[in-house]
Every structure is written in structure tokens, then in C-alpha cells.
A and B are shown apart, each in its own frame.
Chain A
């Protein structure tokens, strides 16, 4: 862990006794009070705390909901209505859990976007970044299984469409895909058996996420936080202790974000959902448009953009796995896009691409929508495979401050070599 003087002083006999046996208070003090945070971090660096908060919200509301929910095909939909109507504050728990999932994804997209813009994936933060991608995948799996639980029409048909994707493996090894799908379903069709196992996994995976989050934070505290300049902390003046500085900033940003959360929980609980999910699942009636929740739409667009089913599935998974390779695909010596005059534009083109894919994912796969989905899917992958390696080599980075302190307090010396990510500390 980052080395610095500990300001921890056990004050009473119990904490002295514990400190000699299991110095957990000393560790927490070092990591969450003394821990040096770059003095120039902006509000995008509050999303980590925000994500921990939403993991907590989802766990707590989920545990309460599970006390009233019945994971069977006959009772699931009715039990959700029972929660909405008859359980004390059940409507609040259910709205917080459903809206909380959306807020969780909103925060994680900002968090990932920040990492991509400021080059937080670059050495020495590769492992930190890859654990983040794993958490993102776990979140997607958890959200997908959670969405099946209300057992409405969209729940049922989303499960049907997504689990059926595995049958595309049949085109390589005939029969294998079908066997995998039947194994996932626990039968020959999506049924109550599928629902029950999804509920079991939906309850399990958040704890796996919590474990991965511990690793993520551990890795973060080994390498230290990145910051808008992409420079490392070199002198004491580059950083401030986490408490009270980063903590007050985090709590302030969290409260603002919680206001947005509350707005949707109390005034727009169904805005982010789909009306068809208020119709109980019916295997005999397919809704006219099956669409996933908003946070899956870009990947859904990529899936449908590719004419071959198997390749579509591969592309969909690849669109996330490719994030793991960004530390090596990005050839630039500079971390932060702030000092990358060319790449900066490509970053925003990438953001537009993802938003456009999200829009296209919500539309039926016909006519001009398909063409546009293909164009944007192509750019999505080109961004990682072509733009990142080539722009990194060709572009001339703009002038950088020598240190974080200089970035905050203004220039006070000669400009150093442009584009040197690790300028020697000033003495």
C-alpha cells in the first residue's frame, strides 16, 4: 500500500488491545483517512464512492425484497404486486431497487468514461482496470437476472432471447449450443425452474461483486488514484489526505446524485422501465418489440447489427472484453486526454457512438436502423483496434504541467519535455 506516515493513535484500552492483535483500525485509518489523494481530482472522481453506495443500496433493499418475494412462475408476479400494495413501504423498497439498478449503471458508465478519458487504465493501473471490467460484467449478469424476477412479459422474453443466444454455438458444434441452453433453463423452455435458479444467482452474485470491489479498492490503494493531469503524486504538496478532503467532496457529490435517485424513486418510478413488464409473463404471447433495459441497449444494438447470430454474440461479448486490452492498445505515452489534442476528439466520437448505439438498440432492427447500427458497431471496434494504437503513436501531446501542484497553482518554472508522463520531481 502507498507508504505514508500513519496518524493513527489508539485512544482507549480496547483499541490499544486490538491494535496489538489485529490492527484493523490502523489499516482502515491508513487507507481511508490518511490515504493521499491527488489535490486536483475533479467531481468525476466521486463516482467510486457513489458506486459503493449503490452496491449497498441494492444489497439492503434486495435483502428486504427477498423476504417478501416468491421465486416461482405462479407467484413471482403476484408477490411483486403484493410488495407494491400491501407490504409496509414495499413500494419504496421495490422502487429503490429497480431505480437503483439504473442509477448504478449510470454511475458506472461515468466511472468507465472517466477512466477512458484520463487514461486510468495505463500502467501501473492495468490490474485495477481489469478487475473493474470484471465487476462490470458481474453487474451486467446480476442486473439481467434481476430483471427476470418480476416475471412480466419483458422479463420472460428478455430471458428467452438472451439465453437463446447460446444456441448459436450449434453452428460450430452441432447440438452443443442447444444442450447449454437447456442446461441454463433447467428444461426445454424458459420456465419457473429458470426463474428460481436466476433468483438464487441474483442473490449470490452481489456478494461476489462485493468481494471484487474489495480487490478493486485494494489495487487502487496500491497504485494510488489517477487525476486529471495523469501525473503521479511526487511531493507532499501534490496530495491531500482522504479525510476530510476527498470525503467531504464525495459526500457532497453523493447527496446531489441521491437527489436524482430520489426524484426517480418518488416521481418517476416507472419512467426507466417498460409498460409491458406490468403484464404477467405469458409464454404464448410475444410482445411486438422486445427491448432490454436502457443500460443494455448499446450491446443489444451490436448484437443485432451483425447478420450472423454467432458472430453477433461474439461481437457483443467482445465489445466489453476489449476494454481489458486498452492498457496495451493505447500506445500514447501520455495518460490524460487533456494533453492529447487529437485523441480527445476521438474520445468524444466514441461517446457519441455508444449513445447512438443505445438509441438504435431501442428501435426495431429494420431499414436504416440496421445500417446505422452497423456503421457505429464498426466504429466502436475501430476505436480500440485502430484509433487507440495509431493516434497514440502519431499525435504530439500538448504541453503538460510538471506536477500536480503546478497544475493547480499555475506555472512557476520552465516547461518540461512535452509528453513526458513521469517528469522528475522538482527539488
Chain B
């Protein structure tokens, strides 16, 4: 006969067995798809994170001296460089910088398009006129625009969440959103000679952070330390260049981060007080019911 006790035992044993088999089976199926990306310390991480203006200014310099030869950043307008919550360059300096770039003017009354100096309201000019020109000059590869690069990349978690659920909870509690920045840093510092036995395709370079390890981009810091001038006394090392330019790109992808985190604190604080007060109100109302 079907007894409650036996059925209960049977079903709970089944549940346990399923849970064990699933974790074993899935663990076996999970394979390393992405290289492990090391987490970096960023000033803009966490609940109180803010960009370091000086770091963004240095990062902008690395971008213009190194990256901008091949990569555009067309969602950034010159005006953004002077805005608070960003590199916050003096407006006059940004105007002067913009004027060094020549962009197409509106057609004149004869329909001719002439060049004019760029203004604060212009986007940062791309190094190429179009995709075809970019691919032609880069052996067929298209250097992506960097405006959203730290948003469009991620660092895979070290291990699947069901084996380390504490990592997922830690990331949620600390507001970890810097996977893209960690990846970009790992990528631009991840170039090396290929290990023995690895055959690179034509025009390809070895990179330990890149999925598949073969990337069309060459090492941007092949020139080594001292490649970019810093005038604030920060050591001119490849590591600093990589860190600073990554911070700059993180800002380019998320220029409202400071405003967002600041308002977040206010909202969470307000809600905490509200929740406590409403908790008292609820207890008061239900006092005589149970």
C-alpha cells in the first residue's frame, strides 16, 4: 500500500539523488570557455565609487596618443571632456583641443562642403572615414569603436555560480559591475609571444585574455614604459597606461556613473527609513489580529 511515510522518504531520497547527480553531471559538462580574468581595483567600483579625474585625464592622453590611431570613440563629444563626473578638463583647454581637429562644415550656399575647426558640440573624430577604409588599412580587421567597449565585454565568473553561490551573492552585495574594465585591462596587458606549439594565423597576435588567444590587434604598448608622457609625476609604466586608459574607457561607456551611485545612496537610505516606519505601522495595525 501507498503510505505517507514511505512516499515521503522515497521522494526526499529522489530529491537528494537528483540534486547530487545534477551537480556532478553539470560540473562535468562545464568546461573552461574563457580565460580567467583577474579582478582589478578601480576607484569607480562599489557603492561609493567615483572616477579619479586625474586618472581619466591621463587615460585620455593614452587614448589619444596610442588607441586613437586605430579606434574611434564617437559617442564622446568634446563637451563631455569638460563635464563633471568625467575627466573635467578646463573648458578652454577642451575648446583649444577641439580646434586642432578639422571636421566637415555644413554645405555652403554653393553646396560645397568645407572643413572647419571642431567645436565642443562635435563628437570626437574617428580615425577612418568609413568601415571600408578601416578594414583596408587593418588587414581586413575592423577596430571597434571604444565608446562602449567596457560595457560590451565581460569577465566570466571564476567558476559556475552553482558551485560558488557565495561569489554571486558577493558580487550582488558589492555592486560588482567592472567585469568589462577587468577584461579590457587583462586584454591590453595580455600580449606575449605565443607559447611553444601554438601556430598563429596570418596577421594574428597572441593574447592570453582573448577567447581563442588569437587577436588581430597588435600589442598597443609594444613601445614599453615611457611611451606616453605623463606630466603629473605618475610613473610612466605600461601597467599605469593600461590602468588609466581602461578607467577612461569605463567613463566613456558610463558617463553618468557618479550621478547614478550618488542618487542610489539617497534612494536606498530613504527606503531603509521608510521600510522601518512601515514595518512599525504594519505591526501596529495587525497587533490584535494574530
Contacts and interface: CB of A to CB of B under 8 A. Distances in A.
A267 B29 contact: no
Interface stretch (A104-112, A165-173, A270-278): A270-278
Contacts of A136: none
Contacts of B75: 81, 85
A399 to B, nearest CB: 12
Contacts of A356: 22
Interface in B34-68: 47
Contacts of B164: none
Interface string A279-306: 1000000000000000000000000000
A252 B26 contact: no
Interface stretch (B98-106, B202-210, B274-282): B274-282
Given A342-B4, A349-B14, A368-B26, A92 B286 contact: no
A365 to B, nearest CB: 11
B8 A342 contact: yes
Interface in A25-61: 39-40
B29 A369 contact: yes
A308 interface: no
A345 B271 contact: no
Nearest to B175: A267
B271 A262 contact: yes
A263 B282 CA distance: 24
Contact of B151 (A259, A278, A360, A363): A278
A275 B154 contact: yes
B264 A252 contact: no
A252 B153 contact: no
B280 to A, nearest CB: 9
Interface in A293-345: 341-342, 345
Interface stretch (A155-163, A201-209, A222-230, A241-249): A241-249
Interface residues of B, number: 56
A84 interface: yes
Interface residues of A, number: 54
Given A266-B264, A275-B153, A394 B286 contact: no
B268 interface: yes
Given A84-B256, A267-B177, A368-B29, A252 B152 contact: no
Contacts of B172: 263, 268, 271
Given A258-B271, A275-B154, A359-B162, A342 B15 contact: no
A264 B162 CA distance: 21
Given A341-B8, A342-B7, A359-B26, A85 B264 contact: no
A297 to B, nearest CB: 13
A381 interface: no
Interface of A: 39-40, 81, 84-85, 91-92, 95, 240, 244-245, 248-249, 251-252, 255-256, 258-259, 262-263, 265-271, 275-276, 278-279, 341-342, 345-346, 348-349, 352, 356, 359-360, 363, 367-369, 371-372, 394-396, 398, 408-409
Given A85-B75, A408-B289, 13 more contacts: A39-B290, A81-B148, A248-B278, A248-B286, A255-B274, A266-B263, A267-B175, A267-B261, A278-B148, A279-B152, A342-B4, A345-B15, A369-B26
